[in-house]
């Protein structure tokens, strides 16, 4: 029942999301682009709901470089769900991080 499910430990999957025009995302990433979260997006429209079928940034960077893109900016954040002094757990599993890379093509 639900009590057994509450004890189950689920692995959070890191994903590389892709934001941009649908046609451009398909041009750069081809078959490695997972469109399941926004399957019928017209080619000229913008989306932020695609993600890649692999989890290695180097692969994404290589594909962008091969398509003539260069990194223009990068930002990163780390947030904590609750702090140990507030009675929360004191391990690294409570941290969530998010890194955004912005690429452009001349």
pLDDT in tens, 9-50: 555 567 899 999 999 999 999 999 999 888 888 999 999 999
pLDDT for residue 52 is more than 70:
yes
Could you tell me the pLDDT band of residue 1, with boundaries at 50, 70 and 90?
Answer: very low
- Considering 5-19, 62-76, 80-94, the range whose residues carry the highest mean pLDDT is 62-76
CA pair distance 24, 30, nearest whole angstrom: 10
Q: Where are the domains of the chain?
A: 16-104
**Cα end-to-end span (Å), the chain:** 56
């Amino acid at each position: 029942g639900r009590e057994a499910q509450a004890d189950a430990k689920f692995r959070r999957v890191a994903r590389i999301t892709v934001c941009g025009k649908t046609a451009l995302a398909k041009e750069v990433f081809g078959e490695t682009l997972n469109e399941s979260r926004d399957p019928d997006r017209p080619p000229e429209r913008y989306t932020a709901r695609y993600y890649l079928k692999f989890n290695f940034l180097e692969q994404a960077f290589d594909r962008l470089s091969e398509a003539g893109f260069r990194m223009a900016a990068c930002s990163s954040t780390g947030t904590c769900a609750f702090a140990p002094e507030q009675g929360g757990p004191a391990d690294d599993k409570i941290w969530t991080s998010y890194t955004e890379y912005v690429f452009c093509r001349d």
